[in-house]
Amino acid sequence: MASSAQLELWHAEKVATQAEVAVAPNGIRYAAWGETRITDADLERLVAAVPETLAPALTRRAYYFVPLAIADTGDTMIAPGYTVDLGDRAVCHRNATFGSMEAVFLSTRLVEDRFGLAFEFFINVAHNFVEAAGVPESFGALAWSQAQAQVRGETSQDAWETRRRVLDSRNGRAVDERARNLYIESAFSDALAIYMLSLAVDFDYHDLREREYPLLAAPALAERLRAVNALFPANQGYDFQIHYRRKS
């Protein structure tokens, strides 16, 4: 295995000029560079899972799948391969801007499997979409109605904390609209990412469980995912299905 001294870090802009950017059938721009350990077929299948109706909001984005994006440098630096030392210095993703293009560099070697990489990619796509296009009003109304009904749990730490903050702050007063909007943005980003993940990978919802907060109740999540599917139908060749585990 190469040592970190043998691996020269590259500036993200240099990587962007060297990597060949492809445009998937759904309009998403992406590239692979370095020893990613992802096959072309797997990467194509992953990127193509993004519903094509999201693509118009992402025309200024490009997603670069690289071995490691390094965290502890002022500039965005990329490692062409993996070492333990560089892995300790890396983060799941880093962003960079080149002219009018926003680039997202995703570390493929920090995750253990296709599930982890897929979710990291889709959560970035979801956040990028919200940043560009906002949250559909119909989804916002659904998520807020569930919060007011005290539906158990949430889909991420951010959604859980912002939901508690906005509900706890009411106490008979008017709702803090800024806090409510932050909650709805988090809930939508999560739901959109989980929806895309379900198109690309068969997984158990409880695989997303974390210790810090309870997961959103399954029927409530299903309602959110169906709402997202209605807004952003799956591309040809991808199926959206929800299966409930039977209780023994």
pLDDT digits (tens, 9 = 90+) for 110-155: 987 889 999 999 999 999 999 999 999 999 999 999 999 999 999 9
Pick 4 or 7 by higher pLDDT: 7
Per-residue pLDDT for 14 more than 50? yes
Band the pLDDT of 215: cuts 50, 70, 90. Answer: very high
Per-residue pLDDT for 5 more than 60? no
Residue 132 confidence (pLDDT): 96
Percentage of the chain lying above the pLDDT 90 cut: 80
Beta-strand runs (E) in 52-117? 61-66, 68-70, 77-79, 90-91, 93-98, 101-107
Residue 85 confidence (pLDDT): 94
Average pLDDT, the chain: 93
Task: Say if residues 208 and 194 touch (Cβ distance below 8 Å).
Answer: yes
Per-residue pLDDT for 84 more than 60? yes
Task: Say if residues 78 and 15 touch (Cβ distance below 8 Å).
Answer: yes
Residue 1 confidence (pLDDT): 47
Look at residues 124, 138, 147 and name the one whose alpha carbon lies nearest to residue 232. 138
Residue 210 confidence (pLDDT): 78
Residue 112 confidence (pLDDT): 78
Task: Say if residues 213 and 152 touch (Cβ distance below 8 Å).
Answer: no
Residue 27 confidence (pLDDT): 98
The contacts of residue 80 (CB under 8 Å, 6+ apart) are: 7, 8, 10, 33, 34, 35, 66, 67
Task: Please state the pTM of the whole predicted model.
Answer: 0.93
Residue 4 confidence (pLDDT): 47
CA 233 vs CA 107, 153, 226: distances in Å: 28, 26, 10
Strand partners, 77: 11, 70
Per-residue pLDDT for 248 more than 60? no
